[in-house]
Amino acid sequence: GAGVSQSPSNKVTEKGKDVELRCDPISGHTALYWYRQSLGQGLEFLIYFQGNSAPDKSGLPSDRFSAERTGGSVSTLTIQRTQQEDSAVYLCASSLDGPGQYFGPGTRLTVT
Partner 1 sequence: GNSVTQMEGPVTLSEEAFLTINCTYTATGYPSLFWYVQYPGEGLQLLLKATKADDKGSNKGFEATYRKETTSFHLEKGSVQVSDSAVYFCALGSGGSNYKLTFGKGTLLTVNP
Q: What distance in Å separates the CA atoms of residue 62 and residue 85, rounded to the nearest whole number?
A: 12
Q: Is 97 in the site for partner 1 (CB under 8 A)?
A: yes
Answer for which of 13, 87, 103, 108 binds partner 1 (CB under 8 A) is: 103
**Of 81, 4, 71, nearest in space to 35 by CA:** 4
* Comparison of 76 and 102: residue with beta carbon closer to partner 1: 102
Q: What distance in Å separates the CA atoms of residue 48 and residue 34, rounded to the nearest whole number?
A: 7
* Comparison of 18 and 43: residue with beta carbon closer to partner 1: 43
Strand 19-24, strand 10-13: pairing: unpaired
Minimum CB distance to partner 1, residue 45 (Å): 5
Q: What distance in Å separates the CA atoms of residue 60 and residue 66, rounded to the nearest whole number?
A: 8
* Comparison of 10 and 83: residue with beta carbon closer to partner 1: 10
Answer for which of 23, 69, 86, 106 binds partner 1 (CB under 8 A) is: 106
